[in-house]
Amino acid sequence: MKKRIVVLKKGIDKAVGIESFCCFGGGFILAWR
Amino acid sequence: MKLSIYAKLYPSGEDRDSVVLFSTKRASAVLVPSALIKDIECGSLSEEEQETLFGLGLLARSDEEEKQEMLNFIQELNILNKTLIATVVLNLDCNLGCRYCFEGTRKGKLYLSDETADKFVDFLKISSDLSNKNEIKITFYGGEPLLSTERIASISEKILSFAGGKGLKYSFSLVTNGTLLTPGVVKRLALLGLKNAKVTLDGPKHIHDNFRPFKSGKGSFDVIVRNIKDACDKIHVEIGGNYTKDNYREFPRLLDYLLAEGLTPDKIPMIRFDPVVNENSAFALPDFSDGCNSSREPWLIDASLHLREEILKRGYRTQKITPAPCIVELFDSIMMDYDGALYKCPVLIGRKDYRVGDITTGLADYRESHALDNWKNEECLACAYLPLCFGGCRYMKLLQDGDINGINCRKEYFDRILAQLVSQDIKYDL
């Protein structure tokens, strides 16, 4: 059967955590990982 | 299994029978036939399909379980975090005379003292909990941090002297106007842990030099570009730019200039443009009012999407759409003003109402004053944008309403922009 789901973006791995915290309404990001 | 509360459905743009499903909590996206959405509702997905979509955060077992997952989200991130982050205001002095300035009327010959610098290092060494950390990262900030190069070097030397013994890596970054980021300074500071500098170029030369001249009135653009060229193969140089409603259309010309000058995407890892924000507090410069006051201003949507596309289509990277809690939610992050006062957010530095202690006495309880649980209510938990927003920006709330209690809801903004941001992220593989 043909696969119906095409993954366009895998996104973040929850176990690793997110990449940034938001400062200044998004205008100033401190890289976290 | 059901569709996640935090999933958004958008037209694919390619054919009518397909849709894009985007998860705001994982920043994942899939292309599926519209019929598959009906199958989710009917519970008739294959096991493999369920597994794939659940793994990407697009399906959930129940709303209640998913809301509980979000309620625990920040706590989990804090547990996972192995980095102690500090932002240090070294001075409130500057060699530029920008038309707008975030520090506004607070600027002056105010510098971090020897005593406060030593207390800061002691604070890192003794007071902060380093037992579960493997790294210390500092952002040196100002004013202009490179007016305090000796201070950066001495603080870094002191941190390096104890960090290794505790099994900790140390690195630092600069938020600098770039005029003093000379080869000699970069070479010296790179040996002490300098990894990254965020430098500001406000559009092409004629605009930048108008907005960000030296105090003498002379333009700063050429000096900064020369420094970026010298520094970019030794450290990561990110370029930021601040636009207004009247000049944002000119900013792509800066990108073309950078490419022509050899500052190509392989040399500049990140470019981002943001609107100048008006200050309405006592710190605002009296002669500048061209900034914006809210993410709700209609022109901002067009401006941010247009500039993002211009950055991406030239091969540069910019900030991607991803969950981004407010920095005040990160326990192991602290900001110190030049006088030793502690804050939880860089843009709240200097606002006495939001001071959370000082470098001698340590941190006070800031949970209430910073409205830490402002988003823990049914309305926010049921909102698909919660993972991208977490109650919004406390500083924007302060600008709009005069205090940070309550939420700075960004639903209207995301309703208008997120589909196109997601489309750009997919198109350019961000």
Residue B103's pLDDT is 62
CA-CA-CA-CA torsion sign (B367, B371, B372, B377): positive
Which among B329, B346, B426 is the nearest to A8, CB-wise? B426
B50 with B88, same domain: the answer is: no
- The CATH number covering residue B221 comes to 3.20.20.70
B51 with B91, same domain: the answer is: no
- What's the rounded Cα separation, in Å, for the pair B185 and B318? 27
Residues 6+ away with beta carbon under 8 Å from B25: B4, B6, B57, B69, B70, B73, B323, B386, B387
Which among A23, A26, A31 is the nearest to B345, CB-wise? A23
What order do you get walking across the sheet with B7-11 strand by strand?
A6-9, B28-33, B18-23, B7-11
Using DSSP, state whether B399 is helix, strand or coil: helix
Residue B232's pLDDT is 97
Check pLDDT > 50 for residue A32: no
0.95 surpassed by complex ipTM: no
Residue B105's pLDDT is 66
- Is the Cβ of B393 closer than 8 Å to some Cβ of chain A? yes
Q: Do A11 and B57 touch (CB under 8 A)?
A: yes
Which among A5, A10, A18 is the nearest to B77, CB-wise? A18
B249 with B297, same domain: the answer is: yes
Q: Which residues from A are below 8 Å from B326, CB to CB?
A: 21-23
CA angle B395/B173/A14 to nearest 5° reads 70
B259 with B305, same domain: the answer is: yes
From chain B residues 311-330, the ones with a CB under 8 A of any chain A CB are 319, 322-327, 329-330
B89 with B47, same domain: the answer is: no
B23 with B91, same domain: the answer is: no
- What's the rounded Cα separation, in Å, for the pair B22 and B58? 7
Residue A18's pLDDT is 52
pLDDT-derived band at A1 (thresholds 50, 70, 90) equals low
B23 with B170, same domain: the answer is: no
As averages over each run of 10 residues, the pLDDT of chain B (430 residues) reads: 97 88 96 96 95 97 96 88 91 90 74 97 85 91 95 98 93 95 98 96 96 95 98 96 92 98 97 77 51 68 94 95 86 93 90 93 92 94 95 84 88 92 94
Residue B352 CA from chain centroid, whole number: 23
- The distance of A13 to chain B (nearest Cα, Å) reads 7
Q: State the residue for tokens 């971090």.
A: B112
Which among A9, A24, A31 is the nearest to B425, CB-wise? A9
Q: Do B325 and A26 touch (CB under 8 A)?
A: no
B48 with B97, same domain: the answer is: no
B48 with B187, same domain: the answer is: no
Token pair in block for residue B245: 């409603």
Residue A29's pLDDT is 38
pLDDT-derived band at A28 (thresholds 50, 70, 90) equals very low
B99 with B17, same domain: the answer is: no
Show the 3-state SS of B338-354: CCCEEECCHHHCCCHHH
Enclosing domain of residue B289: 81-313
Give the total number of structural domains in chain B: 2
Check pLDDT > 80 for residue A17: no
User: Does residue B33 fall inside a structural domain?
Assistant: yes
B228 with B284, same domain: the answer is: yes
Residue B293's pLDDT is 55
Q: Enumerate the β-bridge partners of residue B60.
A: B2
- Is the Cβ of A2 closer than 8 Å to some Cβ of chain B? no
Q: Which residues from A are below 8 Å from B395, CB to CB?
A: 24-25
